Amino acid sequence: MGEVDTIVAVATGPGGALSVVRMSGPSAFEILSALCDGEQPVPPARVATLRTLKDPAERSAIDRALVVRYPSPASYTGEDLVELSCHGGWLIPALVCEACEALGARRAEPGEFTRRAYLNGKLDLVQAEAVADLVEARSRAGHRAAMSQVERGLSRRVGELRASILHLEALLAHHLDFPEEDDAPVSVDGIATDAAELAGRMVALIATAPEGELLREGAVAVLAGAPNTGKSSLFNALVGRERAIVTAHPGTTRDALEAVVQLRGFPFRLVDTAGMRETPDAVERLGVEVAFERLTEAHVVLLCVDDGAPPREPSFLARVKSTPVVVVRSKADLRKQAPQSSAPPEWCADVVDTSVVTGEGLDVLRSLLPSLVFRGMVQAGTEQPVLTRRRQTRALQAALDAVRAFHAALLSDVPPEVASSHLKEAETALEDLVGVIAVEDVLDAVFAEFCIGK
């Protein structure tokens, strides 16, 4: 038969005291019933019910679990769906899954639950992507952006843009199809003005893309500077636990260390590097090379110095000219007199005095870094939708190009009905974005990014 099959997977990540196993498809309830050995009454819909799960072959109990049944279509996938909250760890969730498989379910592929939700019309493509982001949200800001998309923030915004394009088409239609009407004629100039305004709104949304994409990836903040200037201490202080080995010996850090931290809710990948110096030590020299490499990926550089003197620009910063640099004057607690404060030099965004001993300056850094890297989002507040994926940016960019071509054509003597073919392209590009014309390989790419169970 051409039936949809029933899929099962562990929905939660490894570790933790509890795990959720999720099962969706036409046989989900039947399998659940067999799993509960058929003895107990079927749990009522959408009520968490305690059940003993048994191995179908050996009749032995696997676990005591909370079972919730979601009958179709009011479930995440739109199909009959079961969630089993069992004990965590590696073994029990795997045994539960195996038992379900023995009873006829199939192990889900990455993203398959959400894919089914999409195919059953429960989510649009942008929402589906947002769910993926939500699962792997590395920070509260990322979480907020993802949440706002599940709630259709971006879909709604794209819908508005599409409505504006339709509006332009309507104006054109009036202009072209009703030449004898006495209503105030729509001027081509007016249509061109509206198109320019629409392009402006698209530019604003596209401008959120670099930061939006960083929300998913985390911004790279590289700690750099001469040896023994307190980079690793600052790294540990910002990470909040002893990760880097800190000694008084210059050149202790050989490899680059990386940790994910949240600063004011924004995700950063903090990278501690080896001190920059000429060294005879081959291993340390390799570390310096790695440091140089990491610098080129940086979205912000924390240049550590350990004196209070006015900072000088080190030569290695020449290769990261466009990256904002914050000069961190560490070990402030060791200095006798407060350093003279002056306007930061032109090549650096700011100068911050810090002490990992007293905690001085750490909060300043925690606010400063997001405001440098996520400037647009910090200014716009958290309510604005942002583009978090390349695919979204590409589609919007294509739409923008088409709207601009339309605008340029109108202004350069191309007849409006000819120019309007650009509008059709813009509309199609936006439809690509919200999944109206989602082709199979786009779907595959989108859904392959999901972890199993979501």
Residue ranges in contact with another protein by CB under 8 A:
1-4, 118-121, 124, 169, 172-173, 175-183, 413-418, 421, 424, 431, 435-438, 443
Smallest distance, another protein to C-beta of residue 430, A: 12
CA distance 176 to 18: 64
Smallest distance, another protein to C-beta of residue 173, A: 4
Give every CB contact of residue 445 below 8 A, 6+ residues apart in sequence: 391
The values of phi and psi at residue 259, to 5°, are: -145, 150
Closest CB to another protein among 83 and 124?
124
Closest CB to another protein among 38 and 121?
121
Smallest distance, another protein to C-beta of residue 206, A: 23
Closest CB to another protein among 79 and 306?
79
Q: CA-CA distances (angstroms) from residue 435 to 29, 124, 155? A: 31, 6, 10
Q: What angle do CA 120, 121, 127 make, to 5 degrees?
A: 120
Closest of 176, 206, 217 to residue 398, by C-alpha: 206
- Residue 119, strand partner residues: none
What secondary structure does DSSP assign to 34-81, as a single string? HHTTTTSPPPPBT--EEEEEE-TTT--EEEEEEEEEE-TTSSSSSS-E
Smallest distance, another protein to C-beta of residue 35, A: 25
Q: Are 329 and 306 in contact (CB under 8 A)?
A: yes
CA distance 23 to 112: 11
CA distance 270 to 257: 8
- Residue 69, strand partner residues: 45, 82
CA distance 168 to 155: 20
- Residue 269, strand partner residues: 220, 260
> No. of H helices and E strands in the chain?
15, 12
Smallest distance, another protein to C-beta of residue 127, A: 12
Q: Is residue 52 packed enough to be buried (19+ CB in 10 Å), middle (13-18) or exposed (0-12)?
A: middle
Peptide bond into 73 cis (omega under 30): yes
Closest CB to another protein among 88 and 435?
435
Closest CB to another protein among 29 and 118?
118
Smallest distance, another protein to C-beta of residue 194, A: 17
Give residue 323's identity as a one-letter amino acid code. Answer: T
- For residue 91, the surrounding DSSP H or E stretch is helix 91-102
CA distance 62 to 37: 12
Closest CB to another protein among 94 and 176?
176
Smallest distance, another protein to C-beta of residue 386, A: 24
Closest CB to another protein among 260 and 437?
437
Closest CB to another protein among 99 and 168?
168
Smallest distance, another protein to C-beta of residue 67, A: 25
Closest CB to another protein among 340 and 412?
412
Smallest distance, another protein to C-beta of residue 28, A: 15
Q: Are 433 and 126 in contact (CB under 8 A)?
A: yes
Closest CB to another protein among 312 and 424?
424
Closest CB to another protein among 200 and 415?
415
Smallest distance, another protein to C-beta of residue 310, A: 59
Smallest distance, another protein to C-beta of residue 422, A: 9
